[in-house]
Amino acid sequence: MKNSSSGFTLIELIIVIVILGVLAVVAAPRFVDFTSDARKAAFTATAAAFREGVNQVHLAWLVRGKGVAVQNFLPIADPNVGGALTVNSAGYPADTRGVSRTLNSEDDCLDVWRAVLDSFSSGVGNDDAEAYSAEYVAEGKCIYSLKADLNKNVTYDSNTGEIGIND
């Protein structure tokens, strides 16, 4: 009588289990840690929204045919913004308070970001509660940096409307 059995031996099963364990240890962190990907996607979306907001303000300025700097160009209902949005002589967001009609301080950088975006969803400020910090560089230029990763930043030049996204 011939004893034939089909199936796997114990050593074959152990080898398969070890291989699956090694794959799980190597592959699982790649699929489980989506934090950095999510942070990058949120940053990119916020930066793109800022770019489009600046473009919309400029387009409104062009359509209205002003051709000059305009104080209180767009009313802003957000209480975190210092008032109505003012555009400079090139038609780009520059200020929400004061009469300079130019972007010339860190407060102006903060106010432009808050006026163009919803300040509650993309907070900017220099305290720990906000997601972004603002820095006035010079001559109408700002840098907005993601506090969780300072290499991710948005540069804004109110003289030309140019927005750079460094992610």
Residue 142 three-state SS: strand
Residue 117 has pLDDT above 70, yes or no: yes
Residue 123 has pLDDT above 80, yes or no: no
Residue 47 has pLDDT above 80, yes or no: yes
* Mean local confidence (pLDDT), 103-120: 83
- Which band of pLDDT confidence, cut at 50, 70 and 90, is reported for residue 35? confident
Residue 6 or 20, more confident = 20
* Mean local confidence (pLDDT), 86-100: 86
Mean pLDDT is lowest, of 2-11, 41-50, 81-90, 143-152, for 2-11
Q: Which range has the top average pLDDT, 20-29, 98-107, 130-139?
A: 130-139
For the chain, how many residues are written? Answer: 167
What is residue 159's predicted lDDT score, i.e. its pLDDT?
94
Residue 58 has pLDDT above 80, yes or no: yes
The H-or-E segment that residue 72 falls in is strand 70-74
Residue 2 has pLDDT above 70, yes or no: no
The b/e string for 1-25 (b: 16+ C-beta within 10 A; e otherwise) is eeeeeeeeeeeeeeeeeeeeeeeee
What does the block give as tokens for 127?
């305290």
What is residue 89's predicted lDDT score, i.e. its pLDDT?
92
The whole-chain average pLDDT of the chain stands at 85
Residue 1 has pLDDT above 80, yes or no: no
